[in-house]
Copies of this chain bind each other. A is one copy, B any other.
Amino acid sequence: MITDLKDILSVNVRGMKRSAIRELLKFLGQPGLISFSGGFPAPQTFPVQELKEIIAEVMENEAAFALQYGATEGDTLLRTLLVNRYKAGGMDVSIDNMIITTASQQALDLIAKIFINRGDTVIMGLPSYLGGISAFNSYGASMIGIPMDDEGEDPNLMEDKLKELRSLGKKPKFIYLIPDFQNPAGVTMSEKRRLEIIALAHKYDVLILEDSPYRELRYEGEHQRTIYELDGTGQVILLGTFSKIFCPGFRIGWVVGHPDVLDKIVVAKQATDLCTPPFTQRIAARYIEKGYLDPKIKQIIEMYRGKRKVMLETLEEFMPKSFSWTKPEGGLFLMAKGPKEIDLNALLLDCIKNANVAYVAGDSFYCDGGGRNTCRLNFSYETEEKNREGCERLGKYLKTKV
């Protein structure tokens, strides 16, 4: 072995560390532990029967295609079906605006790769999605966090930052948003706020990266148009994925955007994995084609609506008065916030060991190192009964700490 591996590591990887959430997964074998930490969909939602049928057909009829290398842009059938779904919802989009990626994480990595030079600025919310933070960090991005209110990132504070950068001769590479039931905060950006942010993006000539992994999983409130659609000028890159509405084990996502942007993503993707597995793409395409996706989404909505309700009710009953939490209109997560002095990161292992319940410490999601008094809670994975039991454990535990 060479004398010192550390010496030859790239600058970018020196700044990278393992995801707190994924590392947490290793503690989760503890008997009886109730875990609100993963972003896992409930296994009961996996469409096992339909998949058995579809896979048998794919293997019967199109194995030579499905098992071979595929186009870097993705399976044309899948791209077409996804485009049609967006069109049916009113969006103006064609196949030239659509490519497939190996889940959204790859999209985040490729977009970071094509835009970020070390030291470049990215604007995001406080908090924001950890997968985005780690992808941008892996290219040495300098991240500026914008505080959020009930409607999303604060546009005035965002404009302050854009002005400040402009005065220094700088411009962020893009504004990164998760506007639908944000992971982790649970906040949904109102249409009014979306238009305000779009106006800022136009005024300061900045791209918007809109990450929307589960906008269809809405339990209450009104459907919001995507920032992509509201913009209409190609200044938005929109990400989607099957991980939460179909299954994550296939690792299939997509990017909607201006052809010039997609072209660069494709060039970068060629050097990254040649192509997303055609096998899983074709299965996903046939699944949509057979009309299974919409009923599945409805089923997931009903299941998670119930789980969310139980979590919210039990938090209400047991959490300390000094805690507040979001009541997300959809998605898989909510965020709880305690008094300023409580450190939920420091308490996590103790909570797992002594209260037998796990959360994700919120500071992982704050690019400025803040948020130590917050935690993310997932309601989709455990059963309603476990959600109830786990929130009771958590509330009682936290009462001993405030």
CB distance from A273 to the nearest CB of B (A): 5
The size of the chain A interface, using a CB distance under 8 A, is 88
Q: A13, A103, A266 — which one has the most chain B CB atoms within 10 A of its CB?
A: A13
Q: Judge whether B278 and A249 touch: CB under 8 Å.
A: yes
Q: Judge whether B234 and A274 touch: CB under 8 Å.
A: no
CB distance from A287 to the nearest CB of B (A): 12
CB distance from A369 to the nearest CB of B (A): 18
Taken together, the copies of this chain in the complex come to: 2
Give complex CA distance A5, B25 in Å: 40
Specify which of B5, B56, B248, B267 is in contact with A16 (CB 8 Å cutoff).
B267
Q: Judge whether A275 and B261 touch: CB under 8 Å.
A: no
* Residues of chain B contacted by A275 (CB below 8 angstroms): 251
Q: Does A115 contact B (CB under 8 A)?
A: yes
Interface string of A118-131 (1 = CB under 8 A from B): 00100000000001
Interface string of A224-263 (1 = CB under 8 A from B): 0000000001110000000100011111000000101100
**Closest B residue, CB atoms, query A103:** B273
Q: Does A264 contact B (CB under 8 A)?
A: yes
Q: Judge whether A1 and B233 touch: CB under 8 Å.
A: yes
Give complex CA distance A51, B173 in Å: 45
* Residues of chain B contacted by A51 (CB below 8 angstroms): 59, 63, 67
- Residues facing B in A285-304 (CB within 8 A) are none
CB distance from A8 to the nearest CB of B (A): 6
Give complex CA distance A43, B258 in Å: 35
Q: Judge whether A272 and B105 touch: CB under 8 Å.
A: yes
**Closest B residue, CB atoms, query A19:** B270
Interface string of A96-112 (1 = CB under 8 A from B): 00000011011011000
Q: Judge whether B56 and A69 touch: CB under 8 Å.
A: no
* Residues of chain B contacted by A72 (CB below 8 angstroms): 22
Q: Does A17 contact B (CB under 8 A)?
A: yes
Q: Judge whether B109 and A273 touch: CB under 8 Å.
A: yes
Q: Judge whether A248 and B131 touch: CB under 8 Å.
A: no
Q: Does A323 contact B (CB under 8 A)?
A: no
Given the known interface contacts A103-B273, A271-B134, the answer about A8 and B207 at a Cβ–Cβ threshold of 8 Å is yes
- What are 13 pairs between A and B in contact, CB < 8 Å? A1-B233, A3-B205, A8-B173, A10-B116, A13-B114, A46-B63, A48-B67, A55-B59, A67-B249, A70-B249, A138-B271, A251-B274, A279-B280
